[in-house]
Amino acid sequence: MKITIIGSGAMGCLFGGLLAEAGADVHLLDIWEEHVQALNTYGVSISSSGEERHIPVQASTDPKKIQQTDLALIFVKHAQTAKAAQTATSLLGKHGALLTLQNGMGNAEILTEAAGKDRVICGTTAQGAMILGPGRIQHSGTGKTVIGMWEGKEHCLLHEVAAILSNASLDTSTTEDIRPVLWSKLFANVGINAITALTNIRNGELLDLPETRELVNSAVQEALEVASAYDISVSPDALEQVFNIARATAPNRSSMGQDIDAGRVTEIEAINGYILDLAEKSGISVPINKALTALVKTLQSHYE
């Protein structure tokens, strides 16, 4: 199976590097020229547990150099999903599929519009990574990856993809209903990302102050109310799971925090903004998520 990683930042490099190390036919695609040059020259450098290893990879800024692929693994930010979908569909073979492990919601709908519902696989991952520089990443957390069809019939590659990822030390399982899994990840992003980005703290510090704990609680409770209005099945201990994730990833800077630090456009629209959008459509008040969305957008306005 030929795999193309579209969006080879921290997570794209982590998955691409581990897949390459396991012997998979994988190609990395990204628009950052200095990064791509470093990947081709030195391989991807993955730092973990005090050790650093270099894994040879193939990378490019030009999708035309990659040609036909069987699986396009999407790791771009939400704002770039539509463009990534166009690139992916131009590369896919007749029986190819798209897999998104992006943060937030709304990406699957964009990919489905471009490729058709029977070719879109969605998932979440508890793996974590941070960019250290061109061609260099920190593997900052490990955990399970879960994938499943967004809404179409089961794709012939679904279980093969899970097996290939698992073989690359990316423990992956499949599920018949991916939506509750996606929403569970969304609750964590809703409760952690914007607050840590705005307050310039790490995930674990959310638990240290009653004020930030209350903000997490309120943001997630609002999201739970929205999920209930849309008949989304959620775990009864969803809020506690969010606190557990913050605890388990205590030293980490959230992806949204990293984006703010680097002056990049965040995924606020696909996280708290997604909750706000659904809430407004159903007449539900979500003042905390509305405020968090507005504040992050205000920060972004200074560097967009």
Q: Which residues are known catalytic residues?
A: 185
Find out whether 204 and 234 touch, Cβ atoms under 8 Å: no
Read off φ and ψ for residue 84, nearest 5 degrees: -65, -35
Collapsing DSSP states into helix, strand and coil, what is residue 102? coil
Strand 120-125 to 51-55 pairing: unpaired
51 residue type, one letter: E
Integer-rounded Cα radius of gyration of the chain: 18
What is the C-alpha separation between 110 and 81, in angstroms, rounded? 7
d(CA 72, CA 67): 12
Q: How long is the chain?
A: 304
Rounded to the nearest 5°, which phi and psi values hold at 154?
-60, 130
Pairing between strand 172-174 and 145-149? parallel
